Structure 1
Amino acid sequence: MTPTAPGAPETSTSELWDAPVSSGPLAARVEIPGSKSLTNRLLVLAALADGPGTLRGALRSRDADLMIGALRTLGVGIEQGDAPSTLHVTPGRLKGDVDIFTGLAGTVMRFLPPVAALADGPVRFDGDPQARVRPMRPVLRALHALGVGVTGPEGDLPTTLPFTIAGRGGLRGGAVDVDASASSQFVSGLLLAAARFEQGLALRHVGTTLPSLPHIEMTVATLRDAGVTVDDSRDGIWVVSPGPIAARDVRVEPDLSNAAPFLAAALVAGGRVSVPGWPTSTTQPGALVPGLLERMGGSASLSDGVLTVTGDSTVHGIDVDLKAAGELTPTIAALAALADSPSRLRGIAHLRGHETDRLAALATEITRLGGQAEETRDGLVITPRPLHGGVFRTYADHRMATSGALIGLRVAGVQVEDVETTAKTLPGFAGLWQAML
């Protein structure tokens, strides 16, 4: 897959954001909103719970609001509390004969088909044009194998959006094989609803690789916190027992991956950037950020829940396997383009199936600014070259936008296309970025 619309005409200037250049060392404290990954997992569990529950500190972004809208469409009551980040969730009978719009949210398009199988009628799924090329085959084939009717526009078993799930008010469950080589979300989506299946679910991963394993570990942890029994004692096999999902009052952690470009800015511009609310223990892949930034020339310290990264404008190249945290790749790639030695980023072939083909997009945009970035079978090799200003295209991908902003801290004249695509997971990014400076 190539980036969406490669070779398209340059964007009009009205859609371009002039990335600010740092004028000196930073001394910033940045408040990062709640984790998208946790927010959308917790919303699904709250919707399937045995009573009303509350999420506090939930992310309010396009992806999260798409999940909220989809669950409301299915009959779940979700009301905002005193603050937008407080959500009161009241489970209800899941309704069929409805339409779900997923936008470009992988968690919505992959987490909700198993939930839709529990509805009392057909549930029709569609999304943004870019979403129609994102792989869906593993979760749809799994549901089909479990006896769920799944049809595409031509009446066949589809591999992408749009599709229809024939909800029957319940699902027997049982055992199923899934190839999750393209995304861990295929496993997580099935596990989240599995406790509501009559026989639960025994899921076996049959692919050659399993990217973003921490995201599956996050799913298992949230299920256990809600009282669900999950056996993951064997590699690549998860067994979820049938039973109730406990209603809870929970607080969502900050999104550690969204913190990555801000913390990385300390290496690019020098100085220090602090993020409060950093957990001492977490299943978020973003927990790898401090160690990665230390390997690339910074120093990191955690004190009283505040993570601080300090840098002196020195950035070193890195050879790293990012399979466990592929979402950090755009940040690490931007740093690599500004480094003092080459970098090799490995284990991230699955990024070709994200919001865009992130490997092709990063290689294209770094090269557009004068850098040297080459795709490999499972990643990127980036060799630093003198960079110049220009348009950094984002392909409707929020992490491409933050990558361009990071390069722009050091390179004058970088214009980021459609910076508002960051609203997918981090509304108000441009203002937070400017405030950091």
Structure 2
Amino acid sequence: MRYADPWPAPRARGPVEATVSLPGSKSLTNRALVLAALADGPSVVRRALRSRDTSLMATALTALGAHVDDSGDDWPVTPGAFDRDATVDCGLAGTVLRFVPPVASLSTGSVAFDGDPHMRNRPVGEVLSALRGLGVTIDDEGRGALPFTVRGSGAVPGGQVVIDASASSQFVSALLLAGARYDKGVDVLHDGKPVPSTPHIEMTVAMLRRHGVEVDDGEPNRWQVAPGVVRALDTAIEPDLSNAAPFLALAAVTGGSVTVRDWPESTTQPGDELRELLARMGCAVERTADGLRVGGPDRLQGIDADLHDVGELTPVVAALCALAESPSVLRGIAHIRGHETDRLAALARELGGLGADVAETEDGLAFRPASLHGGLFHTYADHRMAHAGVVVGAAVDDVLVEDVATTSKTYPGFPDAWSALL
């Protein structure tokens, strides 16, 4: 569906009272697809997220020789022989950029990777260097970035590799997901600043274990995957809790009440941290029979928070900080400069353009209370930036969000769902 560009963000005229159902988790869907493609038999990924990122993953794995049927709500996956030359379009999907090359290394063909223009700036060199250290031939003309070609020989020797995963936890997950299929497995050691978004590595490890893969993560900054079979397994995908952020924020900025259905009792998704963050900002947070309910406060409070492990929540949390009545500091998130866009610079620029008193720091953002006004909010083809823009627009008149359709990356139809609540 085409939307007006720029898109007039709907303004809330009173407390929003709503219950929402979210599509499935992108992180879980794409990990489940990779493991199903590597498994010892057919699997089904149930309630898979249908979005650009997951469609790119399904297409990439099918190009390698597996088969992903994404025609329904549940996606059957049949492993196949990785025995052909192929081309993989990464789009703007970090999971495709990082997770598929270790799988392509098992092919007997040459697999060429490229993506959207901005994707050539996203870091992947550590994964490529690690694969070379594990015995894989990769042609990238020394760029350590797209475009590159993986030239497989049908098997990967595997073994121990040292990487610096301080730019992205996906570097670790990428090697772990395919590691059981390598002759010696894989033993990944991280050497560098702390790894960001470690809940995503915990998610990867948990999913591997459910597929019968032996993983030893008992030593800090080291993950060992034993060689062996990846057992076929039907997987039900949880709702995407990071996509809950703008909806729960709607309760926070309007003083209303929003319930997200089917919030899991326990989860490895970083989005679960929203419960604590919103409570610290003055919201009432409770589990109900329907899911997770957030009630907005009379006055939204600022927060001092280290978001190192949950960097993907930063745009919406930053929007809330810009609207809060007391100062805020968001720290530990220097790594999100390498996401879909430089999110720190983009947030400082766009929120500042709407009147926010915001400063970019070495590893985050600092806010002081200010009165916001309308204006154009650029998204830089980044779905999380669009989420931040619409949250501000719910509380401030005349906010225009450029390229709101970029939200289809993880939530097709988001603008319609958002408008329906307002």
Task: Quickly name the TM-score band, shorter chain normalised.
Answer: over 0.9
In 1, distance between residues paired with 2:305 and 2:406? 28
Aligned counterpart, 1:227: 212
In the alignment, the residues of structure 1 paired with residue 84 and residue 132 of structure 2 have an alpha-carbon distance, to the nearest angstrom, of 18
Cα displacement (A) at 1:305: 5.2
Residue 431 of structure 1: which of 390, 411, 416 is its match?
Answer: 416
**What are the within-5 Å matches in structure 2 for residues 226-305 of structure 1?**
226-304=211-289
Deviation, 1:234, is 0.3
Q: In the aligned structure 2, how far is the partner of 1:182 from the partner of 1:315?
A: 32
- Write the distance in 2 (CA, Å) between the matches of 1:274 and 1:64: 26
Structure 2 residue 113 is matched with structure 1 residue 131 = no
Deviation at 1:409, TM superposition (A): 0.6
Partner letter of residue 65 of structure 1? S
Shift of 1:369: 0.6
Q: Distance in 2 between matches of 1:117 and 1:410?
A: 49
> Is the alpha carbon distance of 1:28 and 1:216 closer, same or farther for their aligned partners in structure 2, counting shifts above 3 Å?
same
User: Given the alignment, which residue of 39, 51, 73 partners 1:61?
Assistant: 51
User: 2: CA distance between counterparts of 1:258 and 1:36?
Assistant: 10
- SS of match in other structure, 2:69: strand
Q: Could you tell me how far 1:385 is from its partner in structure 2?
A: 1.1
Report whether the alignment pairs 1:150 with 2:138: yes
The alignment partner of 2:415 has SS state of: helix
Between the aligned partners of 2:282 and 2:412, the Cα distance in structure 1 is: 29
Say whether 1:34 aligns with 2:19.
no
Question: Deviation string for 1:298-340 (max 9, x for gaps)?
Answer: 0111123510000134211000000110000001000000000
Aligned to 1:48: 38
Whether 1:352 aligns to 2:337 is yes
Report the Cα distance in structure 2 between the residues aligned to 1:435 and 1:313, rounded to whole angstroms: 24
CA offset at residue 80 of structure 1? 3.5
Contact 2:166 2:192 in 1 (8 A): yes
Contact 1:29–1:436, Cα closer than 8 Å, also in 2? no
Alignment-mate amino acid for residue 340 of structure 1: E
Aligned to 1:362: 347
The 5 A counterparts of 1:25-424 are: 25-80=15-70, 84-152=72-140, 156-304=141-289, 306-424=291-409
In structure 2, distance between residues paired with 1:94 and 1:350: 34
Task: Give the Cα–Cα distance (whole angstroms) in 2 for the partners of residues 123 and 422 of structure 1.
Answer: 29
Q: Is the 8 A contact 1:151 1:158 kept in 2?
A: no
Per the TM alignment, residue 158 of structure 1 is displaced from its structure 2 partner at its CA by 2.7
- 1:267-310: CA deviation from partner (whole Å, max 9, x where unpaired): 10111000111001000000100110010110111123510000
* Matched residue count: 420
CA contact (8 A) 1:150 1:157 kept: no
Could you tell me whether the CA contact under 8 Å between 2:37 and 2:61 is conserved in 1? yes
> Is the CA contact 2:47–2:74 (under 8 Å) kept in the aligned structure 1?
yes
Structure 1: stretches of 5+ with no match in the other structure: 1-12
Contact 1:150 1:158 (C-alpha < 8 Å) held by counterparts: no
Residues 307 and 14 of structure 1: CA distance in aligned 2, closer, same or farther (over 3 Å):
closer
Is contact 1:119-1:167 (8 Å) kept? Answer: yes
Residues 96-132 of structure 1 show CA distances to partners (whole Å, capped at 9, x for unaligned) of 3211000000000000010010011110000000101
**Counterpart residue type for residue 9 of structure 2:** A
Report the counterpart of residue 20 of structure 1 in structure 2: 10
Q: Segments of 4+ in structure 1 off by > 6 A?
A: none
Q: Residues of 1 paired with 2:245 and 2:310: CA distance?
A: 12
Q: In structure 1, what is the Cα distance between the partners aligned to 2:83 and 2:304?
A: 49
- Residue 65 of structure 1, CA deviation: 0.4
Which is worse superposed, 243-252 or 357-366? 243-252
Q: Residues of 1 paired with 2:83 and 2:5: CA distance?
A: 40
1:430 CA drift (Å) = 0.5
Shift of 1:219: 0.3
Counterpart contact for 2:284–2:297, Cα < 8 Å: no
CA RMSD of aligned residues (A): 1.1
SS at 1:351 equivalent: helix
Moved more, 40-49 or 71-80: 71-80
Answer whether contact 1:224 1:230 (CA < 8 A) is retained: yes
* Cα distance in structure 1, aligned partners of 2:360 and 2:83: 45
| Contact 1:26–1:269, Cα closer than 8 Å, also in 2 | yes
Gaps of at least 5 residues in structure 2 are: none
Q: Which amino acid aligns with 2:100?
A: L
Letter in 1 for 2:240: D
- Residue 273 of structure 1 aligns with an amino acid whose one-letter code is V
Asked if structure 1 preserves the Cα contact closer than 8 Å seen for 2:169 and 2:201, the reply is: yes
Q: Partners in 2 of 1:176 and 1:78 — Cα distance?
A: 31
Looking at structure 2, the residues matched to 129 and 382 of structure 1 have their Cα atoms a distance apart, in angstroms, of 32
Q: Which moved more, 1:371-380 or 1:346-355?
A: 371-380
Identity %: 56
Secondary structure of the 1:256 match is coil
